């Protein structure tokens, strides 16, 4: 039965028997699920994205109608679907916390941060990151994996699923890399990691690079600690319609922060005040990754009603050392 084969167990079994762990090189990856096939689209440039968008007009309209129909007037509501992580049908929990208003003044949920599975407690973006990590990177049980977070449900889940997982947070400039605070949280500065060269098969980083003024050094450090062929798998705030990165703030030579746009702070598990966002990325960041020594860099687009990956076009990035 396909449904019984689905989910993490299927992959672990797959790796045990197949013993291979190469990246999928095809343009489109499709996995059989209990509902419709789940499709991701790999895009490598601004021009390629332009052609893709033109082909998607009808599909975008249908997705918008689907998402509209799922919203209720209730503050809290559920969206039935299938959790890839739990491998079962669930009712995802949704609300309007940190939501938006559209042009018609209607409230739109922050779909990416909600749709929490009542089983694994992971939200839309975390479930999708795990799903696509499995699909695109084919991690094996004892792969070496570094994730740039340690206080989150995502870290906890990875730690339970794989044997060699290291997580860290940026605790502040007063901490040196590899040192730990009183809670046992490890400090790492992504622009100067303490790990040896080629230490990891995978580096995972979710919504972190936008907070690092010298993000190109961070890209270069991630490449340095990855084995040849290893993968940096990540998310960033990304403007699909922008060829260039959008600089919101910069650090001046005298060390002060210059805001070029109204300051944007993102939620931070360690700081009540949040964390300043220095930029939203555009397509040029794929070239910047290659300039820092990665052999490939691509954006994967996805959306799924069944798996609860809602909120318009969703994105994840993959760059191979």
In our burial notation (b when 16+ CB lie closer than 10 A, e otherwise), range 215-235 reads beebbbbbbbbbeeebbbbbb
Least CB distance from residue 119 to Zn ion, whole Å?
4
Closer Cβ to Zn ion, 119 or 274, answer by number: 119
Least CB distance from residue 103 to Zn ion, whole Å?
34
Closer Cβ to Zn ion, 107 or 121, answer by number: 121
The binder of Zn ion chosen from 70, 94, 116, 117 (CB under 5 A): 117
Closer Cβ to Zn ion, 85 or 114, answer by number: 85
Least CB distance from residue 41 to Zn ion, whole Å?
25
DSSP letters along 182-251, please? TT-PBB-BTTB--SPTT-EEEEEEES-GGG-TTHHHHHHHHHHHEEEEEEEEEE--B-TT-SS-EE-EEE
**Per CB under 5 A, 80 contacts Zn ion:** no
Closer Cβ to Zn ion, 7 or 230, answer by number: 7
> CB 124: neighbour CB atoms within 10 A?
27
Closer Cβ to Zn ion, 86 or 166, answer by number: 86
Least CB distance from residue 153 to Zn ion, whole Å?
11
Closer Cβ to Zn ion, 123 or 245, answer by number: 123
- Ranges of beta strands (E only) in the chain are 28-31, 38-43, 76-83, 88-95, 100-101, 107-108, 144-147, 164-167, 200-206, 226-235, 246-247, 249-251, 257-259, 265-268, 271-276, 279-280, 296-304, 309-320
The binder of Zn ion chosen from 70, 79, 85, 212 (CB under 5 A): 85
Closer Cβ to Zn ion, 85 or 145, answer by number: 85
The binder of Zn ion chosen from 37, 50, 80, 119 (CB under 5 A): 119
**Per CB under 5 A, 120 contacts Zn ion:** yes
Q: Which among 78-86, 143-151, 223-231, 271-279 is the span making contact with Zn ion, rule CB under 5 A?
A: 78-86
Q: Which among 59-67, 79-87, 153-161, 197-205 is the span making contact with Zn ion, rule CB under 5 A?
A: 79-87
Angle between helices 215-225 and 284-291 (to 10 degrees): 50
Measured in Å, how far apart are the chain's first and last C-alpha atoms? 37
Using an 8 Å Cβ cutoff, are 132 and 302 in contact?
A: yes
Least CB distance from residue 117 to Zn ion, whole Å?
3
- Ranges of beta strands (E only) in 44-163 are 76-83, 88-95, 100-101, 107-108, 144-147
**Per CB under 5 A, 86 contacts Zn ion:** yes
Q: Which among 17-25, 110-118, 240-248, 273-281 is the span making contact with Zn ion, rule CB under 5 A?
A: 110-118
Q: Count residues near Zn ion (CB under 5 A).
A: 6
- Contacting positions for Zn ion (CB under 5 A): 83, 85-86, 117, 119-120
């Amino acid at each position: 039965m396909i449904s019984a084969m689905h989910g993490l167990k299927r992959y672990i079994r797959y790796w045990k028997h197949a013993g291979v762990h190469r990246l999928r090189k095809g343009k489109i990856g499709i996995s059989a699920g209990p509902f419709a096939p789940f499709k991701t689209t790999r895009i490598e440039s601004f021009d390629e994205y332009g052609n893709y968008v033109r082909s998607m007009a009808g599909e975008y309209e249908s997705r918008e109608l689907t998402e509209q129909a799922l919203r209720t007037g209730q503050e809290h509501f559920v969206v039935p679907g299938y959790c890839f992580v739990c491998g079962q049908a669930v009712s995802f929990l949704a609300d309007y916390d940190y939501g938006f208003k559209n042009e018609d003044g209607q409230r739109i949920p922050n779909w990416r941060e909600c749709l929490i599975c009542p089983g694994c407690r992971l939200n839309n973006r975390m479930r999708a990151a795990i799903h696509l990590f499995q699909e695109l990177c084919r991690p094996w049980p004892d792969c070496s994996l570094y994730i740039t977070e340690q206080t989150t449900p995502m870290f906890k889940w990875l730690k339970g699923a794989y044997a060699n997982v290291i997580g860290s947070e940026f605790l502040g400039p007063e901490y040196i890399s590899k040192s730990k605070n009183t809670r046992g949280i490890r400090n790492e500065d992504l622009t100067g990691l303490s790990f040896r060269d080629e230490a990891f098969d995978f580096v995972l980083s979710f919504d972190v690079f936008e907070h690092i003024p010298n993000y190109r050094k961070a890209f270069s450090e991630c490449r340095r600690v990855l084995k040849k062929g290893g993968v940096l798998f990540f998310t960033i705030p990304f403007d699909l319609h922008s060829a260039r990165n959008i600089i919101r703030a910069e650090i001046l030579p005298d060390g002060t922060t210059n805001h070029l746009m109204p300051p944007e702070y993102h939620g931070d598990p360690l700081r009540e005040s949040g964390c300043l966002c220095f930029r939203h990325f555009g397509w040029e960041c794929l070239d910047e990754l290659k300039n820092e020594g990665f052999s490939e860099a691509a954006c994967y687009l996805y959306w799924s009603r069944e798996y609860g990956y809602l909120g318009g076009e969703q994105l994840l990035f993959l760059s191979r050392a």
